[in-house]
Amino acid sequence: MMVIFARTTVQSQTLPPIWWFGVSGAANLNYYDGTTQTLNNSLIVPAAFHKGDGVRPFGSFLMEFRPIGSWGAMLNVGYDGRGGKFDDVVAPCNCPATLETNTSYLTIEPSLRLGFPASGLFFFAGPRVAFNLKKDFSYTQLNQPNTDSEFSEMHSTVISGQVGMGYDIPISAPTSSTKISLSPFVSFHPYFGQEPRTIESWSVTTVRTGIALKFGKAIKIPLPEATAVVPAGDVTFSVRAPKTVPLRRLVSETLPLRNSVFFDEESAEIPNRYVLLTKKQASDFKEESLQNERSEDINGRSARQLNVYHNILNIVGDRMRSNPGATILLTGASGKGPEEGKSFAEAIKQYLVSTFEIDGSRITTDGRTKPLIPSEQPGGTKELDLLRAGDRRVDITSISPELLLQVGGGMMKPVKINATQVDPLDSHLIFNVDGAKKQFKSWSIDITDERGVSKHYGPFTKDQASIPGSSILGDSPEGDYKITMVGETKNGLSVTKESTVHLVRQNETIEKGFRYSILFDFDKSKTIESYNTFLTDVVSPLITDGSTVIIHGHTDIIGDEDYNDNLSQKRAQETQKIIERTLSNSGKSNVKFETFGFGEDQSRSPFDNNLPEERFYNRTVIIDIIPLK
């Protein structure tokens, strides 16, 4: 219990190290089998030796790689004693005889590591490559001189294997960035490949038991000033409150463009939700005109960005007009067949040719039954109408750099706008009720001010919820508030937790944050690696010392809710990992991250889920960069 508590404390205040280094010491319990009788070229003993055993030392330098998740790798390089004593035999002269050896090796042992961070338990397995160092033996026989010499015909290199398990016990302070752990371990080295000699059949089986001392460098997680934690049983309640409550923030937002136009069922015409211009309007259209702010809402995003997205054909037309050498391929897809898919593509081509006066030879069209990256998968049976609506589309592709962003993700070149965020996420109070999803039917929040006036929020069913600070403050410039969480357990019991916060309104509009987004195809999270260059070269350089980076992942409403929660969390965490690595390489360490996975939560999703383009743009990770004031 002490070990588990210590480990939980460490994880709550630091990010665990990815690389560990250290030393280990162990005892090799060696068991001999087989036959040896020819000891070297000048000594063949009269009675063969068969079984034996012995204990010899093992010591190594070690290195471990533990990325986020369960799998990792280990490497041990060290001294490996495989000596022992054979069971005594009796020579034909009725003379007792003994044979003892001190064989040893330089061993290199790479292993795969399967860890369980919540408990400290880990398993490992891998090959062993050993280079012979010593091959001494000592032979005695009654009425004969003792012989101390070396075995002949020894393998200079032995290749075998091992499997084992261990347990990491943290012994460093929770707040220390240098992490230290003691790790008792045991491993089994079967006799396969462990024949020391090129002759006879002597083999060695080894059980190794010992302990390792490991060191790693962790990244400290600064604790919010206004966080209160109240543990109780299986549920822990905490509140993250902002020091000040910003009501508005100017942001420079980079909007990714999905290279798709979606067509309605039973129609081959471009839907009227897309902005279609007259020829005269097109002559005056400039992409820069979309930079003007269109609307404000709780995310400061939805209607404004959809207006940009629904201008996708005008953006493409303006870019092709400005870059006469650019060409595009329009690939239409329809479940009714390639012919209808191509008719979609031809409708878009006709618009660009007639309205923007683009030379038709610069536009190629094609038709398919399914797009190259379809939403509907073979064997799928659920929510097919939504999936098929997402596959009824035209994809715009190009090899022209004027149209595409060349730093990863396959995005079209994004649009940049200046906007005002209303109630940005860092103005919210975040309520964490760890264990709520498993333990509670639901839970709610009551917030009471100094005058005794209460506001009720909820019910909630997930482990996390948030409330804008402006909703709590109302017209008050600042105030002290009592937070009461009331949960109902699944067996009908009531659980109450309390905390307090102090909030201060920040009325002036704050300048100036940055917002970036990355997009995912249906049910994909690992494609985050395709954005590695974008996150490294474009996003990370804007993050200055002392900044706060808020990363929040979202999904559409297709699929299981719990699965989508986990998927969005994975996307957000992988994004943070890439940015952290880049910042660490550039010497920036005092950047605070707040990372959330909101899944398909429609109260937080960037868009509705009524249109296929809304669902596609909800498959996103949004990165808000808030510089230190």
Q: What does the domain layout of the chain look like in residue ranges?
A: 2-220, 226-245+423-506, 257-404, 513-629
Q: Which helix (H) or strand (E) holds 6?
A: helix 2-13
Confidence bin at 511 (pLDDT 50/70/90): low
| Nearest CA-CA partner of 614 in 624, 623, 606 | 606
Q: Are 154 and 187 in contact (CB under 8 A)?
A: no
241-295 confidence digits (pLDDT tens): 887 877 777 777 888 888 899 999 989 999 999 999 999 999 999 988 887 654 4
| Highest mean pLDDT (candidates 116-125, 361-370, 374-383, 460-469) | 361-370
Domains 226-245+423-506 and 513-629 belong to one CATH topology = no
Report whether pLDDT(317) > 90.
yes
Q: What is the token pair recorded at 353?
A: 């040719």
Beta strands in 190-338 (DSSP E): 203-217, 219-220, 226-232, 235-241, 245-246, 248-257, 260-262, 328-333
Average pLDDT of span 339-346? 96
For 106-120, 216-230, 340-354, which range has the lowest pLDDT when averaged over its residues? 216-230
Q: Domain 226-245+423-506, what architecture?
A: Sandwich (2.60)
Q: How many CB atoms lie within 10 A of CB 288?
A: 11
Report whether pLDDT(299) > 50.
no
- Would you identify the CATH topology of the domain 257-404? 60s Ribosomal Protein L30; Chain: A; (3.30.1330)
For 59-73, 243-257, 564-578, which range has the lowest pLDDT when averaged over its residues? 243-257
CATH class of domain segment(s) 513-629: alpha beta
d(CA 191, CA 201): 11
| Highest mean pLDDT (candidates 48-62, 460-474, 499-513, 528-542) | 48-62
pTM of the model: 0.58
Higher pLDDT, 48 or 429: 48
440-492 confidence digits (pLDDT tens): 888 999 999 888 889 999 888 888 888 888 888 888 888 889 999 998 888 88
Q: Domain 2-220, what architecture?
A: Beta Barrel (2.40)
d(CA 629, CA 626): 8
Q: Are 313 and 351 in contact (CB under 8 A)?
A: yes
Report whether pLDDT(110) > 70.
yes
